[in-house]
Structure 1
């Protein structure tokens, strides 16, 4: 009875102290401690380490849900051989994040469609998230539309301020925004608000010289590029589209074969490899 009472009391105390992981595991740790003759300090250390590890795991899971990163896109499955102008070591250094994110610097990925920019940006975001940074991945057009709604509701400043809780905001397909005064003005306000404050990672198909297709006013184009480039690292992925290259390879491999081929029994057809964004 005394043991039951003590266990109940301890459970209540751990609730009050907000130590849910220790609450779940303390009895098995205590049993092992009794069996192996641990000193009290070792038991306390083991419980504390377990609580910290569980908090880190829950934090990463929560941040990962918020981040909306592209599923399955990691540095491990990114084909660095297909983009020889991008150094794996350089990208790994960027994934540490300490220098550029703390200073509100930017990262810009330029290159034609299908070169892996979206994959790489999401993979960098995932690596940074796993080391404790808060990240949000968004299609630029989708985010701009949400900001436009906020402006109509007289809540644009609040909406932009809420985005400040993310250390890194990834704007994918930046140059696909319509050349529309309402859209580009909210985008410019977002860029200005994060300048030297919070970091942006931008992927774009067009070089800077073609960004007048995004911003209708030349002065706004110059100001936006100036703010983005001032403290930035620029990676150019000037390679042939991965999707186009894969399609051509499939076509060449199938040359001379019958139009249709029966699949032998008991033999499964391997799935097509997932194309990077």
Structure 2
């Protein structure tokens, strides 16, 4: 019987094919791919065995992190191009880049299940900053899901009809941050708002929720038909929350005005058809 614990003879030739199989069995695909190149370099530079092994392990861990981030980005469904680098902070003086970067670090508020609420008029950049924060968090190792509030509410309504609402909400627990974009477009309907309230209640003090909304809290009675439900939803969201207000002119409107100006055109003649917003 072969003794698998017997020491390897350093003069034995390396069976590359067998080594590849062993690394595959150990589920080390990055090392399987890179070890011949690292081994060649180690031989040329006279690396100690420990350095060679450490280099392989570091490469494997880095590749695992890269693949994990790629998976989390794919599942997050973030709108493309919405990064912090692409966000113009200048027209939003009330929004601090330093504060946003601290939120992206995410190592305290997400662990506590705190919430993030972003208010502002249509076109102010709420969805952009929400998606950018989500992207930064994913790159830092957190799991995020970005969804239009109406889309998720409809899916939860289907789950309720199939007597699976609790399970559907539980599946969302894997996301450290759930981004509900455009809360205002939820229909003031008991069926829709009740599943939204159950989602908010289920995540309360456990998992974080980011909500973008056009209306301030005082107008949320347009979303929740029951005043008591409105107060309860606001209480759960605000209890542990950071609130960002983007009370600025619509970015889309401002961009359209700039396009209408044209080169050398006086600013007083820059007009836009407001019906097109």
Deviations 1:86-105 (A, max 9, x none): 00001111111111100000
Aligned residues: 255
Query: How far apart are the structure 2 equivalents of 1:78 and 1:25?
Result: 38
Correspondence 1:199 to 2:208: yes
Corresponding residue for 2:40? 31
Query: How far apart are the structure 1 equivalents of 2:225 and 2:13?
Result: 74
State the 1:244 CA deviation: 0.6
Correspondence 1:236 to 2:245: yes
Query: How far apart are the structure 1 equivalents of 2:265 and 2:88?
Result: 29
Corresponding residue for 2:52? 43
Corresponding residue for 2:116? 107
Query: How far apart are the structure 2 equivalents of 1:221 and 1:34?
Result: 69
Corresponding residue for 1:266? none
Query: How far apart are the structure 1 equivalents of 2:114 and 2:265?
Result: 53
SS at structure 1 position matched to 2:105: coil
Find 1:70's aligned residue among 72, 79, 95. 79
SS at structure 2 position matched to 1:65: helix
SS at structure 1 position matched to 2:257: helix
Find 1:217's aligned residue among 200, 213, 226. 226
State the 1:246 CA deviation: 1.1
Query: How far apart are the structure 2 equivalents of 1:20 and 1:40?
Result: 20
State the 1:253 CA deviation: 2.2
Structure 1, unmatched stretches of 5+, are 258-277
Corresponding residue for 1:159? 168
State the 1:254 CA deviation: 6.2
Q: CA RMSD in A?
A: 1.4
Corresponding residue for 1:81? 90
Query: How far apart are the structure 2 equivalents of 1:96 and 1:226?
Result: 26
State the 1:255 CA deviation: 8.0
Query: How far apart are the structure 1 equivalents of 2:246 and 2:169?
Result: 30
Find 2:140's aligned residue among 123, 131, 142. 131
TM-score (norm 2): 0.90
Correspondence 1:60 to 2:34: no
Query: How far apart are the structure 2 equivalents of 1:23 and 1:38?
Result: 19
Deviations 1:155-183 (A, max 9, x none): 10000000000000000001210001110
Correspondence 1:248 to 2:257: yes
TM-score (norm 1): 0.90
When residues 81 and 256 of structure 1 are mapped into structure 2, their CA distance, relative to the original with a 3 A threshold, is: closer
